[in-house]
Each structure stands twice: as C-alpha cells, then as structure tokens.
DNA sequence: TACATTAGATGTACAGCGTACATACGTCAA
DNA sequence: TTGACGTATGTACGCTGTACATCTAATGTA
C-alpha cells in the first residue's frame, strides 16, 4: 500500500460506520466469510486496518452489525387480510436474503446481541399475525415455528453440495455411489425413484413445508 | 512443551484419527469452536501440531469428521408403528446433541461433504417414514420438513442470549428496554402478555411446532 | 484570523493461527 | 542386518485480530 498515493486522495470519501459495514458485506458476499478480515476491509477502503476500530469496537461488533443488515433486508410488508400470502412472501424474501448473504446463517449462530433490524423484523411479523386474528400466545407460536422452518430450510439448502436446487439428481447419485451399494437402501430408493429423477427441484420442498405449516396454523386462528 | 518429557512417554498411547477427533470435539465442546486450533488439539494430545496432519488432510477435514460424529450421535431407533413417537424421540435427540455440541450448527453450514453418519441418519429416518406408510415422495417431503424445523429451532434457541430456555422472561424485558419504548409495540405486547410472564418456557414452542407438523403429515400418509 | 481541542487515521508490534517442508526416528519385512 | 516406510519433530512463512503510541486534519472558541 502506497502511503504517498493514499494521502493525496485522503479526503475523497470519509470513512464511516456505514461505509465499513457495506464494504465488509460486499467482501463476505463475494469471497465468503473466511475471506473477511479487518485487513481486507481496510485495504478495500484504502485505509489502514486500525482505522476501522474507530467505528467498530472489534470484529464481533462488525459481525453483529452485518447480521442486522441481513434482517433489515427482509421484506415484511404486511399483507392485510391475506396473512398466508404475507407469510409466504416474507419466507421467500428470507430465502433470497440468505442466498445473497451466504455467510449470514453461519454468523447468526454465534451472535447474541439482537439489533434494530432483528427487532423490527419480529415486530412486523407479530403484527401481521395479530392483525390476522391470532392471539398473542398463538402469534408467538406461529412466528417461532415459521422462523424455525424457514431458517432451517435455508441451512439445509446451503449444506447441499451444489449451487442450484435443480442439479440434485446427478449429484445425489454421485454421492450415494461413493458408499458401498446397499449401505443405505432407503436413501437409495428415494434417489432412484424421486430425488434422482430429472426435473426434481429441491426448492419445491420449501413450498410443501410452508403450505403444511400455514394450513396447520390457519386452523388455530381465534 | 518439554520434548524430553514427551519422548520418555512417547509410545504410551499412539496417535490416531479417532483420538484426534475425540480431543477436537472435547475442546470445541468445552471452549467453543473459536478455541479449537490445531495447536491446541496437538498440545492436549502431547504432540507437535504437524503430527495431526498424518491423520487429517487439514482443519476442514477435521471439521467434516466432527460434524459427522454429531450425526452419529443422533438416536434414531425406529419406532415401529408409532412413527410419530419415533420422530418425536429423534427430534429431541437432535436437540440434545446440538446442545451438547454447540459448535455443530455453525460448522454444519460450511460443510459440503456428507459423511457416513449423515447418510445413516437420513437413511434411518426415511426407513421409519416408509414403514409408517408414507410414499417415497412423501417421505422425502416429510424428512426435509422435519429436519428444517428441528435444526432451525435449534438455531433460534442457540441465538437466544441466555443459556436455559426458562430464563426468557427477565431477559426479553431487558432487551426491549434497550430500545425506545413503543418502537416495537407488537414485540412489547408479546413480552408483556406472554413471553415475559413467569413460567414461560421457550422449549414449549418446540413441542407446539413439532405436533403441528406431525399432525399435518399424518393426514398425508398413504 | 489564530489557537486549542479532539476525533480519527497511521504505523508498529505481538501473539496466535494453518500448514508447507525438511528432517529424524521407530517398526517391520526381507 | 538393512532398507523402506509411516509417523513425529522442528522450523518457517504469511496470515490473523488488535493494543498502543503517534501524528494529522477538522472543528469550536476568542
């Protein structure tokens, strides 16, 4: 890094919490969370590493903020009377956000400080459910169940060893073939008769689960 | 580390993949995943760090194996005709295992190589579902939905900023109080009228969700 | 306009990390 | 007895987060 060159363009764009945050998210999106270092962020911003610490207490603080941005990006426009539609839209939004920020699920797990984005998200979900006629207790039940399914599905989806959900067929067969035949007969049956068939799309499992849950919840509305 | 002392006791217990694996899991269980380093594992085993690389290609290889141990520890004894009971038992087993190995959820997300423990787990779940009368397609739907819920619930549970699920009341109020009053009216209502009440146990949400899903699936059996 | 205050950027340093690589050693087959 | 081979040792390198001291540029006050 050339200090001379840097100092000439010093004041172009002042460093700020927002700029650091956006840069960190960009780097994590592009290169994965393991490529996110304070040094990389600083370099991307044309700044010395320690400058970041004027805006974030430490790397954990930065990670907390990154997770909260993820919550902020969730689209939770209240759906009025069509509460199921609203939940479906929100669920899909979460899936999109988590696909855009693949680091988020891994980072979420080690965070303990909920930020305003997190709070806003949950407040709006509960609002939608309350306005749809759910009792307070049932609204809590409902959003916990929905959140569990949505984030859990995303976790499974990202654990799959391929990028797109429509490439399951070939890969499932390949993985199975790495193990002795008949070690996993039921898994093999599923792949042979269902998952391994051309046209199978793992994403369809998301709609199945979501529909089942929404139907179950609907029957419990006040 | 004293080499003299080590060499005197050199052959007491030979290093092995299993011993490295067990030590790594022990360290991660006790001190969290961030305290798991190849150097720490080596020191715990009274060995130089590079010795581990005779048994694992690299740290990722070790993490893959650790996750697979977690799958192996899941209790999936087939429940015969009582498929719901079997699923409930298995779900609780997963929750126990993930509580015992709090690092697992965070690590799972970055793994792409399913091991034999993972395969066995899924094979046995599908077997239980098939024997309960589910079609192949429906068995895949069912275990994807169940897995999503169970792992997703565990993710939420571990994100909660307290250890035990029965301490929600005080803490929920404390967190809310850090933000301007009435910023999150629906969240506040939930806490005031339900979550914040003494005796509320977040773990009960698990049974609610599981029961709803099992009931929904039951109506779809062949 | 001149000066004091201060927030923020710089630059150095340190301990710890994963692991490449060369060396040494213990065990077993011929 | 010797040679081969698998495993452990020991060194080294480039990377990490961040403590700390220093410098610099912008801001508030007279």
pLDDT (mean) for A173-178:
86
pLDDT (mean) for B137-156:
97
B49-61 confidence digits (pLDDT tens): 999 999 999 999 9
Q: Which of B99, B96, B19 lies closest to B65 in space, CA to CA?
A: B19
For B136, B164, B177, the CA distances from B198, given in Å and listed in that order, are 45, 14, 18
pLDDT (mean) for B166-185:
83
pLDDT confidence of residue A8? 35
Q: In this structure, what token pair is assigned to residue A182?
A: 């008949």
pLDDT confidence of residue B129? 95
pLDDT (mean) for A158-175:
76
Q: Is the pLDDT reported for residue B10 higher than 80?
A: no
Q: Which of B116, B175, B216 has the CB atom closest to A212's CB atom?
A: B216
Q: Which range among A160-174, B20-34, B65-79, B204-218 shows the weakest confidence by mean pLDDT?
A: A160-174
How close, in Å, is residue A13 to chain B by CA atoms?
A: 31
pLDDT confidence of residue A7? 37
Q: What number of residues does chain A have?
A: 222
A77-108 confidence digits (pLDDT tens): 866 679 999 999 999 999 999 999 999 999 99
Count of CB atoms within 10 A of residue B42's CB?
20
Query: Which residues, other chains included, contact A147 with Cβ-Cβ below 8 Å and sequence gap of 6+?
Result: B152, B156
pLDDT confidence of residue A5? 36
| Chain A residues lying within 8 Å of B144, measured CB to CB | 153, 156, 205, 208-209
pLDDT (mean) for A102-121:
94
With CB atoms and an 8 Å threshold, state whether A187 touches B141. no
The reply to whether A94 has its C-beta less than 7 Å from any atom of strand D is: no
pLDDT (mean) for B16-25:
97
Confidence category of residue B77, pLDDT binned at 50, 70, 90:
confident
Nucleotides of C under 7 A from a protein CB: 7-12, 16-22, 26-27
Count of CB atoms within 10 A of residue A85's CB?
12
pLDDT confidence of residue A161? 66
Measured in angstroms, what separates residue B72's CA from nucleotide C28's C1'? Answer: 35
Over pLDDT 90: what percentage of chain B?
A: 74
Bigger pLDDT: A184 or B6? A184
Q: Is the pLDDT reported for residue A164 higher than 80?
A: no
The reply to whether A47 has its C-beta less than 7 Å from any atom of strand C is: yes
Handedness of CA A39, A40, A42, A47 (dihedral sign): positive
Distance of CA B77 to the CA centre of its chain: 18
- Which residue shows structure tokens 């959140």? A147
- Which of 110-149 (A) contact B at CB < 8 A? 110-114, 116, 119-120, 122-124, 126-127, 130, 136-137, 139-141, 144-145, 147-149
By the 8 A CB rule, do A140 and B201 touch? no
With CB atoms and an 8 Å threshold, state whether A148 touches B152. yes
Q: Is the pLDDT reported for residue B81 higher than 80?
A: no
Q: Is the pLDDT reported for residue B9 higher than 50?
A: no
pLDDT confidence of residue B164? 66
pLDDT confidence of residue A162? 66
Q: Which range among A53-57, B100-104, B133-137, B159-163 shows the weakest confidence by mean pLDDT?
A: B159-163
Query: Which residues, other chains included, contact B33 with Cβ-Cβ below 8 Å and sequence gap of 6+?
Result: B103, B106, B107
The chain-wide mean pLDDT, for chain A, equals 90
pLDDT confidence of residue A13? 65
For the entire predicted model, the pTM comes to 0.92
pLDDT confidence of residue B161? 66
pLDDT confidence of residue A147? 98
pLDDT (mean) for B142-161:
94
The reply to whether A54 has its C-beta less than 7 Å from any atom of strand C is: yes
Confidence category of residue A131, pLDDT binned at 50, 70, 90:
very high
pLDDT confidence of residue A105? 97
């Amino acid at each position: 890094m050339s200090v001379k060159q840097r100092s000439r363009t010093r004041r172009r764009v002042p460093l700020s919490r927002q700029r650091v945050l956006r840069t960190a998210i960009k780097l994590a999106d592009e290169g994965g969370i393991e490529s996110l270092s304070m040094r990389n962020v600083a370099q991307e911003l044309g700044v010395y590493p320690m400058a970041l610490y004027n805006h974030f207490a430490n790397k954990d603080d930065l990670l907390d903020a990154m997770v909260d941005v993820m919550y902020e990006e969730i689209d939770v426009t209240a759906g009025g009377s069509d509460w199921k539609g609203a939940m479906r839209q929100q669920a899909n939004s979460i899936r999109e956000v988590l696909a855009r920020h693949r680091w988020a699920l891994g980072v979420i797990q080690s965070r303990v400080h909920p930020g305003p984005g997190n709070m806003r998200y949950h407040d709006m979900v509960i609002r939608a459910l309350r306005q749809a006629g759910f009792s307070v207790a049932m609204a809590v039940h409902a959003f916990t169940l929905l959140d569990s399914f949505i984030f859990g599905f995303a976790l499974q989806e990202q654990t799959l060893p391929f990028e797109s959900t429509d490439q399951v067929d070939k890969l499932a067969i390949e993985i199975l073939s790495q193990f002795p035949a008949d070690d996993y007969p039921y898994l093999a049956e599923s792949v042979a008769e269902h998952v391994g068939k051309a046209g199978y799309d793992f994403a369809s499992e998301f709609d199945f689960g979501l529909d089942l849950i929404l139907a179950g919840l609907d029957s419990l509305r006040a």
